[in-house]
Structure 1
Amino acid sequence: MPPIDHSARPGDDTLGGGMPSASVAMPKTGNWFKRLLAFTGPGYMVAVGYMDPGNWATDIAGGSKFGYLLLSVILLSNLMAIVLQALSARLGIVTGWDLARACRERYSRPVCIALWVACEIAIVACDLAEVIGTAIALNLLFGIPLIWGAVISAVDVFLIFLLMGRGFRALEAFVIALLLIIFGCFAIQMVLAQPDLAELFAGFIPKAEVVTNPEALYLAIGIIGATVMPHNLYLHSSIVQTRAYPRTEEGRRIGLRWAVTDSTIALTLALFVNAAILITAATVFHKAGKTDVVEIEQAYHLLSPMLGVGMASMLFGVALLASGINSTVTATLAGQIVMEGFLRLRLPGWIRRLLTRGLAIIPVIVVTSIYGAQGTAKLLVLSQVILSMQLPFAIVPLVRFVSDRKLMGTFVTGPVLTSVAWGIALLIIVLNVVLLVGAFGD
């Protein structure tokens, strides 16, 4: 395939998911804050997936069981996420393709089908976490049974289309508003918990126990799966193209710089939220000897009595509901982008959304009916491990594309960044193999 003429490529009028390309104006003059504000949005849309209900399950279980030990895994996962999302933005800005379309253009049909199936499994696993999280939040805050909460979660499709009808900027504003609610709730929780700062910071230093302890390793891989999400790589490479940066070499450099800044700031916010969940669980539960708190419902009911503050549980529930609703938006967009990119198949958004959500609701209803709330907790953690298993199928093509000089031209990644990216991919693959070997051994 001949190299792309980056200087002449105008980009498509419509991106995956029906989003208009170059629809958000970028100021040509003004201070750096004004220009950053114009580009702010895609990074926060991506950051949603890094603090969805799936993260809560793994973070709560890790904090209550092992204290601050797995903070190092959260930090490592977030650093990997920053690198991978920067590469995803690079691919989208330079080529005008999202990751799914790049796979379609560069790989054979059978390979594309296989990658598409792997990505769809990841999206359903992600949606599974959102269904469970939303259902649990509705149950805790309003007493709605889990099964009905799972069914109610399907109607959020109408909220998405209402926001999309008002423009992509309105959708971004809605997402950022909910992110701020989540951030505020956990900032208050951290103040109430009063963690030991010395022990807290020591938790960010990696320890061998994370790998040598099978249970800690299982949760660590779950955290990686919950943090670095495969569908976010497809999503980010598409939505960065909504910005109207000049489609020239210099314009792309400017766009890339602001895109990386935006996603890095947003993912730092996600790091705080994930760390705050684990720190709260470690401080409130692990310190008191409650090392068996693995369910979100347990954490909700225990927070207020153990902290001695009545609003602690309510804040937890509100943040959980905001997280579940928010994650729905990005999963919907990612699903449409993936289907259109790999297959050139554009379904009406409501059909695509109900199909994906239906596949996620069915196992939740079945497991809840048979095993109750305890079954949904285990299903939630398992969904995150499934996500981690799908990561190589997104990361390997991404790293190959951005390190391909014929495709990327002058924007090709340098040897250091390429080595770091391949190192991240290798680390995730090795951890997954260790987990699978341990599972079959048991």
Structure 2
Amino acid sequence: MNAPPSTTDVPPADFTRSLAESHRSIALPVGAGFWRRLFAFAGPGYLVAVGYMDPGNWATDIAGGSAFGYALLSVVLLSNLMAIVLQALSARLGVASGLDLAQACRANYSKPVTIVLWLLCEIAIIACDLAEVLGTAIALKLLFGLPLTWGVVVTAVDVFLILALQRFGFRKLEAFIVALLLVIAGCFVFELTLARPDMGGVLRGLVPTTDILTNPAMLYIAIGILGATVMPHNLYLHSSIVQTRAFGQDAAGKREAAKMATIDGTVALGLAFFINAAILILAAATFHTAGRTDVAEIDEAYRLLAPSLGVGAASIVFAVALLASGQNSTITGTLAGQIVMEGFLHLRLPVWARRLVTRALAIIPAVIVVGAAGDAGATRLLVLSQVILSLQLPFAVVPLVRFTGSKAIMGDLASPAWLRALAWTIAAVIIGLNATLLWGML
């Protein structure tokens, strides 16, 4: 086992490589041109981007577009720009230090602080998994008429899908993820072609307004969008999966790896922005402009799309994209859960066991809420899960910004002054928005 790089403190004696079964398993071409090298690096960014377009995003984007038209597009854009910066930092941490974010926390914080951070991260993963469970169950109901409660139970079976995919290697897993992303993007190109949104309204919506802060209902949805876009577990995920590439361990090799990982992540998150914006634009163009400002449920949007757009296939395409989104998010959520548990606790569980535990913790509240409140309760739980994710964000962002600004941890790849300033500003905005939400709730 290779020794880990030096950090501000000595790493745990029981240190092991992040995702050891896939660590440095993907060879890189030697002496190849830029585009070939970039293609070899491409992949981790798309696994991360999946978390930025999961079913939780659908709930917040549909609710925001229906109630407020294009106004919250600015929140989608700003959230995505913040995500690009934070994910670039996450990738740099993995490349420069050889540690994922969970391992770095364990190496540099006291045990009580590490345990608290681990528990908060687990809550975030459960909230994310809850969104995946509900989104997949809703898609199964819309496509096949399966009752929502049974759909929630069926989602436990996707554990075996993940196990089957991982047997074919990490590169094949990435290819499967990208294929599903292209299906989702294609579905929304079709939907937007039918909806014919007001492009002037779309452009105006990209400019922030003070209404977002002064309108409590708009602020609640805005923070839900933030939580659904900048997801804490993705910061742990990216710092690990970037290490699946066998890049050079000298200074030049690490600099190139950080550069390629940043390009990969930025392009992938550009696709995520298109899909998130497309969901909100579709809701605004189809429902808000028709006076239907009350459409906040995914299944209601499904029922109204076909008659509103005049094409029967519109609703089916919408549900297919939702199912693909739920399955994609399930895969990356599993990897993030494995990374967090191994990094914080050095506790290695079989993937199927880890997944079953996390999924059970999501299924139980989902079944209770669906049984008690029906479909409306499911959608409200989706939006709430995204707000919970947003509240967890500072506990992942602050350590990440601190570590990536440290020369003792990052060496020559430590964030320059301008990047540290930008990263701390993003952290302050996230904390400020969360404080505003909590004050309003209290």
Which TM-score bucket, shorter chain as reference?
over 0.9
Unaligned runs of 5+ in 2: 8-13
Unaligned runs of 5+ in 1: 6-11
Which of the numbers 274, 277, 280 marks the counterpart of 2:276?
274
**C-alpha distance 269-13 of structure 1, shift in aligned 2 (>3 A):** farther
Which of the numbers 367, 370, 377 marks the counterpart of 2:372?
370
| Structure 1 CA distance for aligned equivalents of residues 51 and 21 of structure 2 | 19
**Cα pair 1:122 1:230 within 8 Å, conserved:** yes
Which of the numbers 422, 433, 439 marks the counterpart of 1:431?
433
| Structure 1 CA distance for aligned equivalents of residues 166 and 344 of structure 2 | 23
1:344 is aligned to 2:346:
yes
Letter in 2 for 1:155: V
Q: Secondary structure at the residue paired with 2:393?
A: helix
Q: Tell me the residue number matched to 1:285.
A: 287
Q: Tell me the residue number matched to 1:132.
A: 134
Alignment of 1:156-305 (within 5 A): 156-305=158-307
Offset of residue 247 of structure 1: 1.0
Alignment of 1:103-114 (within 5 A): 103-114=105-116
Q: Tell me the residue number matched to 1:48.
A: 50
**Cα pair 1:15 1:238 within 8 Å, conserved:** no
1:421 is aligned to 2:409:
no
Identity level (%): 63
Q: Secondary structure at the residue paired with 1:287?
A: helix
Q: Deviations over 1:140-180 (max 9, x none)?
A: 00000011101111111111111111100111011000000
Offset of residue 198 of structure 1: 1.0
| Structure 1 CA distance for aligned equivalents of residues 294 and 238 of structure 2 | 37
What TM-score results when the alignment is normalised by the length of structure 2? 0.96
Q: Tell me the residue number matched to 2:336.
A: 334
| Structure 2 CA distance for aligned equivalents of residues 409 and 33 of structure 1 | 27
Point out the more displaced range, 20-29 or 268-277.
20-29
**Cα pair 1:225 1:386 within 8 Å, conserved:** yes
Q: Tell me the residue number matched to 1:119.
A: 121
| Structure 2 CA distance for aligned equivalents of residues 30 and 345 of structure 1 | 39
| Structure 1 CA distance for aligned equivalents of residues 312 and 203 of structure 2 | 28
| Structure 2 CA distance for aligned equivalents of residues 417 and 155 of structure 1 | 43
What TM-score results when the alignment is normalised by the length of structure 1? 0.96
Offset of residue 21 of structure 1: 1.4
Which of the numbers 124, 146, 153 marks the counterpart of 2:148?
146
1:392 is aligned to 2:394:
yes
Offset of residue 360 of structure 1: 0.2
Q: Tell me the residue number matched to 1:92.
A: 94
Q: Deviations over 1:186-243 (max 9, x none)?
A: 0111111101111111100011111110000000000000000000000000000000
Offset of residue 20 of structure 1: 2.2
Point out the more displaced range, 411-420 or 129-138.
411-420
Letter in 2 for 1:414: P
Letter in 2 for 1:423: T
Question: Could you list the runs of 4 or more consecutive aligned residues of structure 1 that deviate by over 6 angstroms after TM superposition?
Answer: none
| Structure 2 CA distance for aligned equivalents of residues 131 and 28 of structure 1 | 42
| Structure 2 CA distance for aligned equivalents of residues 193 and 3 of structure 1 | 53
**Cα pair 1:19 1:242 within 8 Å, conserved:** no
Q: Tell me the residue number matched to 1:4.
A: 6
**Cα pair 1:14 1:21 within 8 Å, conserved:** no
**Cα pair 2:139 2:320 within 8 Å, conserved:** yes
Q: Deviations over 1:64-89 (max 9, x none)?
A: 00000000000000000000000000
Offset of residue 18 of structure 1: 4.4
| Structure 1 CA distance for aligned equivalents of residues 248 and 44 of structure 2 | 18
Offset of residue 245 of structure 1: 0.7
Q: Secondary structure at the residue paired with 1:26?
A: coil
| Structure 1 CA distance for aligned equivalents of residues 339 and 163 of structure 2 | 15
| Structure 1 CA distance for aligned equivalents of residues 261 and 18 of structure 2 | 18
Letter in 2 for 1:168: F
**Cα pair 1:3 1:406 within 8 Å, conserved:** no
